[in-house]
Amino acid sequence: MARHVIAKVEELDIGKSKLVKVAGRDIALFNVKGEFFAIANRCPHEGADLCRGQVVGLAEADEPGKVRMTRHGELVRCPWHGWEFDIRTGKSWCDPARTRVKSFDVSVAKGGALTEGPYQAETFPVSIDEDYVVVEI
């Protein structure tokens, strides 16, 4: 387990996603209402890049024609066949038990705190005053 600094907080707006390559993995990083989440980038269906999917809410209905939208910005819809994944957990909406992508622990830390300790910034220059997204792999 190591912690990797993968992005500056300010480079990823709310509702946006980004592909990061870290420790040999492709990871899709999302900013959900100011919170950061990271899941494996590769869709388990046919391999599309989830970082290129649409960030959406959850459409639900108990009655035909009576639809409500909840959980705005918390799901990503695969750019190919549209399977929805919960950005927080990596679980697919349609088959959460069996169809899921790995999700990674993400935290935000000040650059100052990152200069010491077990952090790996790899090719990433860290400056003391800014906030960074850190993923644990």
Closer residue to ligand FES, CB minimum distance, 48 or 56: 48
Q: Which is nearer to ligand FES, 3 or 42 (CB)?
A: 42
* Cα Rg of the chain, angstroms: 16
Question: Does 85 help bind ligand FES (rule: CB under 6 A)?
Answer: no
Residue among 2, 67, 81, 136 that touches ligand FES (CB under 6 A): 81
Closer by beta carbon to ligand FES, 58 or else 109: 58
Of 72, 88, 79, the C-alpha closest to 30 is 88
Selected from 71, 80, 89, 102, the binder of ligand FES by CB under 6 A is 80
Interface contacts to ligand FES, rule CB under 6 A:
43, 45-48, 78, 80-81, 83
